[in-house]
Amino acid sequence: MPKLSGVIETALYVDDLDRARAFYEEVLGLEALTADSRFVAFDVGGRSVLLLFRRGSAPETIQLPGGTIPPHDGNGPIHMAFAIPAAELPAWEKALGEHNVGIEGRTDWPRGGKSIYFRDPDNHLLELATPGIWKIY
């Protein structure tokens, strides 16, 4: 069987695209790569892309000059984790506090990694994770 080599994109669906964009730019410091009225795409560490779609904005096939993107959407709170260096965890905790973002949970993993959990404005559960949470990370 052919092998997968990574995850390039992750998509979250949001109710208010402007509010969500502001959160991811101001609180998490992500830089937008491109955007329109339906979505915004963020660079995550130069290795992957976080897509925020306005909920209900892609109910039909999107026609592009190079092809098509099938319809997609999502409901409910989703979980995703961002990788951070272990030494930056205290700085992240401080930055979240300065933006009035409450830390909802903390985990010390058996392999030595640490995670903190918090919510975005659309109630998605976000995690900041240091190396040592998985055998491969």
pLDDT tens track for 44-92: 999 999 999 999 998 889 999 999 999 999 999 999 999 999 999 999 9
pTM of the model as a whole: 0.94
Q: Domain of residue 82: give its range.
A: 76-137
Same domain, 38 and 99: no
List the one residue out of 69, 67, 77, 66 whose CA is nearest residue 39: 69
Q: How many CB atoms lie within 10 A of CB 32?
A: 13
Same domain, 104 and 66: no
Counting Cβ atoms within 10 Å, is residue 70 exposed (0-12), middle (13-18) or buried (19+)? exposed
CA distance 117 to 111: 18
State mean pLDDT over 8-27.
97
Question: Of all helices (H) and strands (E), which one includes residue 42?
Answer: strand 39-44
Give residue-wise pLDDT tens across range 20-47. Answer: 999 999 999 999 999 999 999 999 999 9
pLDDT band at 15 (very low <50, low <70, confident <90, very high): very high
Give residue-wise pLDDT tens across range 104-135. Answer: 999 999 999 999 999 999 999 999 999 999 99
Task: Out of 75, 92, 124, pick the residue that ends a domain.
Answer: 75
Same domain, 100 and 39: no
Same domain, 60 and 101: no
State mean pLDDT over 11-23.
98
Using DSSP bridges, classify how beta strands 39-44 and 67-69 pair: parallel, antiparallel or unpaired: unpaired
What is the count of structural domains for the chain? 2
List, in sequence order, every residue forming a beta bridge with 34; answer none if it has no partner: 41
